[in-house]
């Protein structure tokens, strides 16, 4: 605390920590603007392959300036050779905390947040950046100047423990689970090559959880739930929440986005976001709701 990194960012306080990093609130001493500064662990900072990948992705991540994305502002190194990532300071409520606090979210709120996340992810996908770790912990619900809420996707391009993906192929043989992969796509669980459609699947799982408070695949253990994702169909949305009277079109959109095969899903995240928003709001999916909103 109190240190100035790169003669620019004064460390104010710790915001949080994880297995691979610490996150601090920092103030630009020249502009007084606040940033979130993620200082990577010594082990990760000294991992040559991880750092090479991080630098490649950071160069793209710096181009991710979008209202619904917390992008990378700068990648640097402290005097004691710890790598740090500077991002805009996003103040709000983590989506995971919102889900836990309320249990489940209204359909209209869910549709708005899905629209926001789809817009941010679409820009990233246009730059060939796949998030690969979409989950409620990586989304912040913020409040704008007019008191309206919007969603911001965080943690792009930080190469967080992605080496765990290949090890997931051994799941059924060893029963060992690395991390908390509740929102990973089937192809990610199998360690297959990933493209933007893996984010669509993860976003659909998050959508389902926002609406029901639960995930669409059942099991007594996390391992059973992961195997169910590889072999079984999701529990019907309207069966999980019979009291909610969700439109059939909402369930149809979700089922397509949660298809086990990436080829059977929506092929772009904007296509999914538009279809879900239209179904939730009772509009024709051919109307191009997101296209109108984003000037397409």
Is 189 in contact with 181 (CB distance < 8 Å)?
yes
Domains of the chain: 4-88 (3.30.200.20), 93-291 (1.10.510.10)
Tens digit of each residue's pLDDT (9 = 90 or more) over 167-184? 444 443 444 333 357 899
Tens digit of each residue's pLDDT (9 = 90 or more) over 122-158? 999 998 888 888 999 999 999 988 889 999 998 875 5
Average pLDDT taken over every residue of the chain: 85
- The residues near 93 (Cβ < 8 Å, ≥ 6 apart) are 140, 141
What pTM was estimated for this model as a whole? 0.82
248 pLDDT tier (thresholds 50, 70, 90) = very high
Residue 160 has pLDDT above 80, yes or no: no
Is 133 assigned a catalytic role? yes
> How many whole angstroms separate alpha carbon 217 and alpha carbon 227?
9
Q: Which among 47, 116, 133, 199 is annotated as catalytic?
A: 133
Closest CA to 198 of 268, 98, 291, 252: 268
Please tell me the predicted confidence (pLDDT) of residue 149. 96
Place of tokens 């149809």: 252
Strands 21-28 and 93-94: unpaired
166 pLDDT tier (thresholds 50, 70, 90) = very low
Is 51 in contact with 102 (CB distance < 8 Å)?
no
């Amino acid at each position: 605390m109190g240190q100035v990194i790169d003669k620019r960012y004064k460390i104010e306080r710790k915001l949080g920590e994880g297995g691979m990093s610490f996150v601090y609130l920092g103030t630009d001493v020249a502009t007084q603007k606040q940033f979130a500064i993620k200082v990577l662990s010594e082990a990760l900072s000294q991992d040559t392959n991880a750092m090479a990948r991080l630098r490649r992705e950071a160069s793209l991540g710096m181009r991710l300036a979008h209202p619904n994305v917390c992008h990378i502002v700068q990648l640097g190194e402290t005097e004691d050779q710890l790598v740090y990532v500077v991002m805009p300071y996003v103040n709000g409520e983590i989506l995971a905390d919102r889900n836990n606090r309320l249990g489940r979210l209204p359909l209209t709120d869910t549709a708005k947040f899905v629209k926001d996340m789809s817009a941010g992810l679409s820009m990233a996908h246009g730059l060939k950046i796949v998030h690969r770790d979409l989950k409620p912990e990586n989304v912040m619900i913020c409040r704008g100047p007019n008191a309206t809420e919007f969603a911001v996707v965080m943690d792009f391009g930080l190469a967080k423990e992605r080496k765990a993906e290949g090890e997931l192929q051994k799941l059924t043989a060893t029963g060992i689970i690395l991390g908390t992969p509740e929102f990973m796509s089937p192809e990610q669980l199998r360690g297959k090559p990933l493209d933007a459609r893996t984010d669509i699947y993860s976003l659909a799982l998050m959508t389902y959880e926002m609406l029901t408070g639960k995930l669409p695949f059942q099991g007594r253990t996390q391992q059973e739930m992961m195997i169910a994702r590889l072999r079984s169909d999701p529990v019907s949305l309207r069966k999980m929440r019979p009291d909610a009277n969700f439109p059939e079109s909402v369930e149809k959109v979700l089922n397509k986005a949660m298809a086990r095969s990436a080829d059977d899903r929506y092929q772009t995240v904007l296509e999914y976001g538009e279809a879900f928003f239209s179904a939730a709001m009772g509009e024709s999916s051919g109307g191009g709701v997101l296209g109108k909103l984003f000037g397409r």
